[in-house]
Chains A and B, each alone.
Chain A
Amino acid sequence: MSRHYLVAIVENNAGVLARISSLCCQRAFNIDSLTVSTTGSPNVSRITIVTSGDDDAFEQLKSQTAKLPEVIDVFPADPDETVIRELLLLKFEVTDENRFQITSIAESNHARIINNQDSTLVIEMTADPTTIDLFIELMMPFRLIEMCRTGATAIAKGATTFHSES
């Protein structure tokens, strides 16, 4: 089981997200996250799908997604050739004793304290999904109150583009 990333460039129509999520459910594709966003073109949206599974399952996800008439193009995103980012928010219950420790672990991992109150602390991290997983694991010994993370979004490194805005 390895993590795969698929970037789909789609027509910005009502229902396109429903079609893709329906397809994933119909064919039992294992989805870790799915992110939809606008692009510089008003008629085009961009969907990033993160999935765990073998190469054959990913190939099916790719070709079945590509078959949807509203999907303009699909690109498997190679993690080595792509900048992949997710946003993580963690809220901890803190005491005067551990506040400094939590803060310093967060900061040494390039996370930020974005809300600091009497008994709670909110940490934000932007990183690739694997780094985020590791950071969450690192923070588990502390009293986690709430956690949320976005899906991944991805852009190719260098001159390659998945969807050119020009």
Chain B
Amino acid sequence: MLLNGSDILSEVLLEQGVDTIFGYPGGGVLNIYDSFYKYKDRLHHVMTAHEQGAAHAADGYARATGKTGVCIATSGPGATNLVTGLATAYMDSVPMVAITGNVGTSLIGRDAFQEVYIIGITMPITKHNFQVRRVEELADTLRKAFKLAHTGRYGPVLVDIPKDVSAAITEYVPQPPVETPRQVKDSYPGLEEIARVINTAKRPYILFGGGVRLSDAGDEVRELINRADIPASYTLMASGVLAYGEKNNMGLLGMHGCFSGNKAADNCDVLINIGSRFSDRVALNMKKFGGDAKIIHIDIDPSEVGKNIKVDYSVIGDVKDVLQKLLPMIEAKQHLQWQHQIDAWKTRDYHPKNDASVIKPHQLVSAICEMAGPDATYTTDVGQHQIWAAQYLHLTKGPNHFLTSGGLGTMGYGYGAAIGASFGKDVKGPVIHLTGDGSFHMNMNEACTAVSYGLPIISVIFNNRVLGMVRQWQTVFYGKRYSSSDPERVTDYVKVIEGFGGVGYHVETLAEFKEAFAKALESKVPVWIDCVIDKDERVLPMIPGGGTSSDTILD
């Protein structure tokens, strides 16, 4: 059938199983928005306050649902506003397709109004990008983009569509939706050797990361941990894979990981990395990380092997499939002596003290978790509150319930992500946005989106009136010279959210918080809860960059 480029885009989105798109209109995408008007019964377009919010929403939607998130922006500033969202998704391997409009092909390269070279700008922060110069290539290019975003190591793909291409007419041939099955192989070279190394290990340790989440390999990791009695730590990206309190769950590893976990990683004889990239926040000292251990690395991306840490054994593949092939070769074991040693280290783990007179961050997180129930989906911004959330949320329903910007560390991620997650069909429980007063000032404008679409997102603001993480570093490493981290803002959050059309509470004790949060859980509109915390609260434990477990700061 003959269709214009914009209708072809709508058709391909439907082909790919897309029903929700996050975006913001503008001159370069007017043709496309005209098509969205026509397809509005089948394609739900969510208009955000800012294109960055749309990109984070597509990302949050993707992380919460496992589907590819889609966002759209106009040319020029619309496109550049997506950049932080694309980089966020790229660093955390989130499947996303971003559509940008551009000026007509005859104007490209002439510095036309709202023209930017978005292909060049996003080259290093997308898995791939395309500019479609001919409408005949549009459908297949979009299909390719969806396939790329959701195969191998997932990531964002951008498709730039000049305005004349979205208007031009060509024959559209529908195609059935494309399945993107996980990579499965019959066997993996070297796997027997790896099994032997694991079976003969005296002090084995596991580090797992986002790859486990992306390949849904939680059960396989659990099986390995239990059968071979191997304690395991994880990265921020894999928070929630193991349930809180589960046997051998050692919590976060790295800069703010627990002392015992970091100690174990430095003193093990075999370190098994499953789907993590040895980032500098985990392998803080790339020369000393893992001590003298033999290191095994399982990852889907060959370029991750040896990138940061030299490893002794590696397997390239989807971690779920690799583990399924590995598990039959793993012997049941008990490592009593090693576990005993770890228990001894655990006695030195940091445990924050409760205090009823003020709001302690760990008590706040625990209260949220208790009251919100196991089905809640949490999003965070970046800073102290993010790490407190990762440390103290008792996640039990899997990693898709905790959405956080790990690799890029994007302040301002959380509200957009919460909006995106709210549109996930299987997202049942409340969507809770944990934020700091610093981060929240970057994206609070999205409250209007939450109001427009009736999303009862609860934003819990860890308000210490300073940039807490910056302040913590300035306290420890910069002689308490608080350069630009104490802005003396007097934002009245209750008034602001009321202005947007939501509800706000200001609380100064845990009891007040619980009362407000109970009301928030019943709300039909977005709620902000401004929680006053002390500006000298710190995230502990902490290992400075470049350090090892011996450098742990515990108080």
A residues near B (Cβ < 8 Å) are 15, 18-19, 22-23, 26, 56, 59-60, 63-64, 66-70
Q: Is B518 an interface residue (CB 8 A)?
A: no
Taking a contact as CB atoms under 8 Å apart, the answer to whether A67 and B124 are in contact is no
Q: Is B545 an interface residue (CB 8 A)?
A: no
Is B223 among interface residues, defined by CB-CB distance under 8 A? Answer: no
Q: With A and B bound together, what is the CA distance between A67 and B90 in angstroms?
A: 14
User: When the two chains form their complex, are residues B302 and A66 in contact, meaning their CB atoms are under 8 A apart?
Assistant: yes
Chain A residue numbers with a CB within 8 Å of B123 are: 18-19, 22
Chain B residues whose C-beta falls within 8 Å of the C-beta of A56 in the assembled complex: 306, 310
18 additional A-B residue pairs with CB within 8 Å, beyond A22-B123, A59-B306 = A15-B119, A18-B123, A19-B123, A22-B120, A22-B124, A23-B124, A26-B124, A56-B306, A60-B306, A60-B307, A63-B303, A63-B305, A64-B303, A66-B302, A66-B303, A67-B301, A68-B128, A69-B148
A18 to B305, CA, bound (A): 25
CB distance from B300 to the nearest CB of A (A): 11
> What are 7 pairs between A and B in contact, CB < 8 Å?
A19-B123, A22-B123, A56-B310, A60-B307, A64-B303, A67-B301, A70-B128
Q: Smallest Cβ distance from A146 to chain B, in angstroms?
A: 32
B362 contacts the other chain (Cβ, under 8 Å)?
Answer: no
Q: Is the C-beta of B127 less than 8 angstroms from some C-beta in chain A?
A: yes
The CA of A69 and the CA of B147, in the complex, are separated in Å by: 11
B window 101-158: CB within 8 A of A: 119-120, 123-124, 127-128, 148
Assembly CA distance A70 to B128 (angstroms): 9
Which one, A15, A23, A26, A69, contacts B127 given CB within 8 A?
Answer: A69
A18-B120 contact in complex given A60-B307, A69-B127, C-beta closer than 8 Å: yes
| CB–CB B302/A63 < 8 A | yes
Q: Interface size for chain B: under 10, 10 to 19, 20 to 34, or 35 or more residues?
A: 10 to 19
Q: Tell me the complex Cα distance, A68–B303, Å.
A: 11
A82 to B116, CA, bound (A): 42
For A23, the chain B residues whose CB sits under 8 A away are: 124
CA distance A19 to B126 in the complex (A): 11
The digit string for B265-305, where 1 denotes a CB below 8 A from any CB of A, is: 00000000000000000000000000000000000011101
| Chain B residues with CB below 8 A from A18, complex form | 120, 123
**Alpha-carbon distance A19/B128, docked complex (angstroms):** 9
Q: How far is the CA of A60 from the CA of B120 in the complex (A)?
A: 22
Looking at A19, A66, A69, which has the most chain B CB atoms within 10 Å of its CB?
A69
Specify which chain B residues have a CB less than 8 angstroms from the CB of A19 in the assembled complex: 123
**How many Å lie between the Cα of A50 and that of B480 in the bound state?**
48
Residue of B nearest to A22 (CB): B123
Q: Name the distance in Å between B149's Cβ and chain A's nearest Cβ.
A: 11
- Chain A hits for B120, CB < 8 A: 18, 22
By a CB distance below 8 angstroms, the chain A residues around B303 are: 60, 63-64, 66-67
Q: Which residue of A lies closest to B310 (CB)?
A: A56
A67 to B301, CA, bound (A): 8
Q: How far, in angstroms, from A93 to B303 measured CA to CA in the complex?
A: 49
Q: Which 10 A-B pairs give the minimum distances between C-beta atoms?
A: A63-B303, A69-B128, A26-B124, A22-B123, A64-B303, A63-B302, A67-B303, A59-B306, A22-B124, A60-B307
Give every chain A residue within 8 A of B310 (Cβ-Cβ): 56
Bound CA–CA A164/B301 (angstroms): 27
Residue of B nearest to A25 (CB): B124
How far is it, in angstroms, between the C-alpha of A63 and the C-alpha of B302 when the chains are bound? 6
A64 to B301, CA, bound (A): 9
Note all chain A residues with C-beta closer than 8 A to B307. 60
| Nearest Cβ on chain A to B473's Cβ, whole angstroms | 25
What chain A residues lie within 8 Å of B148 (beta carbons)?
69
What's the minimum C-beta distance from A16 to chain B, rounded to whole angstroms?
11
Task: Please give me the residue from chain B that is nearest to A55 by CB atom.
Answer: B306
- Which residue in chain A gives the minimum CB-CB distance to B125? A26
A88 to B120 alpha-carbon distance, docked (Å): 32
B153: nearest chain-A partner, CB-CB = A67
Give the Cβ gap from B155 to chain A, nearest Cβ, in Å: 10
Instruction: Determine the distance from Cα of A45 to Cα of B519 in the docked complex, in whole angstroms.
Output: 63
The distance in angstroms between the C-alpha atoms of A19 and B303, with both chains bound, is 17
Given the complex, which residues of A lie within 8 Å of B305, measured CB to CB?
63
A63 CA to B153 CA in the complex, in Å? Answer: 14
A14 to chain B, nearest CB (A): 8
Residues of B within 8 A of A70 (CB): 128
* Contact partners of A59 in chain B: CB under 8 A: 306
Report chain B residues within 8 Å CB of A15: 119
Question: Looking across the interface, which residue of chain A has its beta carbon closest to that of B133?
Answer: A14
How distant is B493 from chain A, measured CB to nearest CB, in Å? 39
Q: When each residue 293-332 of chain B gets 1 if its CB lies under 8 Å from chain A and 0 otherwise, what string results?
A: 0000000011101110010000000000000000000000
Give Cα A64–Cα B302 distance, bound, in whole angstroms: 8
> Whole-angstrom distance from the CB of A45 to the nearest CB of chain B?
17
**Residues of the B chain whose Cβ atoms lie less than 8 Å from the Cβ of A63:** 302-303, 305
Residues of chain A within 8 A (CB-CB) of B301 are 67
Q: Distance (Å) between the CB of A68 and the closest chain B CB?
A: 8
